């Protein structure tokens, strides 16, 4: 009698991601994962006791990968953090499709997962805190990017306009920062007045 094939938890997650990409969230079941991985249902349940556990592990994996792409966020200015965030969103969205998004929608229906998502957003807003105009512009840009992300995962952006809208957000954000750092008309008038008095 042959030995049952063994498979790592990480490999199961890779296969599960492939199922979601091809068949959508509804296609991801313990049975389907077992068949695709060539292991028994019990073999899958050794790593993931339920579909909820599997979905949670997939979302945690995506979040971890996203945070790794973001890199170190401590001591990064709000403006630079949003620049990094937009860059990572731009790259990660190429891999995101509406089928994978359905899994994320299912994920946030669990109250425990909502709490964790809320904590992640709170930590982002703490990093984007402050009363400066740069910090305000960073918060607005972050919220705009998140709004685009929600449109994307809800399947509303089927024509792929998301990337162009993301360009718009980044462009407006950079203009806001330039305007914030440019001398105001009042300070220019004061400087001109001072020069005339001399």
* Domains of the chain, residue spans: 72-182
At 19-52, the pLDDT tens digits run 888 887 788 899 999 999 999 999 999 999 988 8
Name the packing angle between helices 162-181 and 78-93 (round to 10°): 170
At 186-196, the pLDDT tens digits run 444 545 555 45
Rounded to two decimals, the pTM is 0.72
């Amino acid at each position: 009698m042959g030995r049952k094939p063994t498979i790592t938890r990480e490999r199961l997650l890779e296969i599960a991601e492939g199922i979601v990409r091809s068949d959508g969230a509804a296609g991801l079941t313990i049975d389907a994962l077992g068949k695709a991985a060539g292991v028994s249902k019990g073999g899958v349940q050794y790593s993931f006791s339920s579909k909820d556990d599997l979905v949670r592990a997939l979302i945690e994996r995506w979040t971890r990968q996203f945070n790794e792409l973001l890199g170190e966020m401590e001591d990064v200015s709000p403006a630079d953090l949003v620049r990094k965030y937009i860059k990572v969103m731009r790259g990660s969205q190429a891999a995101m499709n509406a089928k994978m998004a359905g899994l994320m929608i299912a994920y946030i229906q669990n109250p425990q997962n909502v709490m964790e998502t809320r904590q992640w957003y709170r930590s982002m807003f703490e990093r984007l805190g402050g009363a400066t105009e740069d910090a305000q512009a960073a918060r607005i840009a972050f919220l705009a990017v998140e709004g685009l992300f929600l449109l994307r995962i809800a399947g509303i952006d089927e024509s792929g306009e998301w990337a162009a809208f993301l360009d718009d957000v980044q462009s407006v954000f950079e203009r806001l920062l330039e305007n914030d750092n440019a001398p105001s008309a009042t300070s220019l008038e004061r400087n001109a007045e001072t020069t005339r008095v001399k």
